[in-house]
Structure 1
Amino acid sequence: MFIQIIEGRCTRRQELRAVLDRWPVELAPGADGWLGGTYGFTDDDLFVAVVRFEDRDAATRNSQRPEQGAWAEAMVAAFDGPVEFHDSDDVTLLFDGGSDDAGFVQVIRGHVDDPGRLRTLIASDPAELHRMRPEIIGASLAIEPDGSFTETVAFTDEASSRRGEQAELPEDVRAELAWALQGATFHDLHEPWFSSP
């Protein structure tokens, strides 16, 4: 799988949303290998999109289409300033990735010096995680070559997520999470929306 993260400040939310809503209708039919996307705004007007393709080649073919280039120009024009793009084909999924049924999504951006250790943490004992945190209905971890990562976690709803944060975790899990999340930033998407083929 290949994931592209798009983020930037946007106070013209309706304008950007209108451009984004055109993509599944007008461009998705010709985007071979597109698997879906998760989108939302934080309280401080940061827009975050996590777009999934089967692989990097499929994403590249899509970006080379003239109609994609024109659409991307319109999208970028709706932002208040620069837009960041982060690409990764080092992707680990939890519970099949995410869910378009999520009522709350948290996007975590961070950096680690040992990507293999982080992959192991995400993939270890999903049954036990589901028992402890049943409100987590999926997640994806995208790691860039320099160790930067974006984890996208889908929850049933925000209230359940906040209660789950108080769960008592085993000491070894707490230590690994503290290592992985040191210096990370958390972007809460209170009203996420989704698109899929």
Structure 2
Amino acid sequence: MRTHTYDQEAAMFIQMIQGPCSKQDEARQMINTWHQELAPGATGWLGGTHGFTDDGQLIGVIRFDSREAAMANSDRPEQGEWAARLMALMDGPVEFHDCDDVTLLMDGGSDDAGFVQIIRGRVDDPSRLKAMMADTTTLHEMRPDILGGTLAIEDDGSFVETIAFTSEAAAREGEKIEPPPEVRSELAYAMQSATFYDLHQPWFESRA
């Protein structure tokens, strides 16, 4: 797999989709078809992280260099046709989230990750959450299993955090490490209403 870290991307806008999908092979092929056929014409598209949760949710976190680029992609007729085909494979309603406010954790993530966690929650002070993401010295020393991540925040304080790990085994071992009191306090604040989604077999796409 080609190594790709997201700190190579100067600006970022994130679209996140999530919905129930039992036709997982077909959905993955449909997403791969987008990469092969539509990605070359998608100006500003940077890449994406995809996977299925244990309860059959398809989650995709797609990166563009701006909202304008993402909206221009959505307006393409071929994008609309492809999206209709993907939606036909879903088992129920699909959520869409658009986020201009994106913060990178360390290298922002890596296409070499063996395990990814998607964390969804809401905070009343996004600046506090972003400050925690920016202070990575302790985290890097404490959790070498974390390759990086992205934090995407909506206007109401809802957030989608995507964390890339070297492997699930390493992530589970890392979870046993007790963080310092000040870090523990900030984590408790950020994760008080959070839901975690594990992508055991994530796959990635990035612009060459």
TM-score by length of structure 1 reads 0.98
Are residues 1:24 and 2:35 paired? yes
Are residues 1:128 and 2:127 paired? no
150-159 or 126-135, which deviates more: 126-135
1:187 maps to a residue whose letter is Y
| Partner residue in 2 for 1:75 | 86
- For structure 1, the residue ranges without an aligned partner over 5 or more in a row are none
Are residues 1:195 and 2:205 paired? yes
Are residues 1:116 and 2:127 paired? yes
Please report how far the alpha carbon of residue 128 of structure 1 lies from its aligned counterpart in structure 2 after TM superposition: 2.0
| Partner residue in 2 for 1:177 | 187
2:177 maps to a residue whose letter is A
| Partner residue in 1 for 2:103 | 92
Q: Distance in 2 between the 1:152 and 1:186 partners? A: 10
SS at match of 2:98: strand
The number of residue pairs the alignment matches comes to 196
Q: Distance in 2 between the 1:77 and 1:83 partners? A: 11
1:127 maps to a residue whose letter is T
- For structure 2, the residue ranges without an aligned partner over 5 or more in a row are 1-11
Q: Show CA shifts across 1:43-97 (max 9, x none).
A: 1101110000001001011111100010011111110010100010100001221
1:91 maps to a residue whose letter is V
SS at match of 2:37: helix
149-158 or 16-25, which deviates more: 16-25
Q: Show CA shifts across 1:90-127 (max 9, x none).
A: 00001221100000000000000000111001111x22
Aligned-residue sequence identity (percent) comes to 62
Q: Tell me how large the CA RMSD over aligned residues is.
A: 0.6
Please report how far the alpha carbon of residue 129 of structure 1 lies from its aligned counterpart in structure 2 after TM superposition: 1.0
Are residues 1:107 and 2:121 paired? no
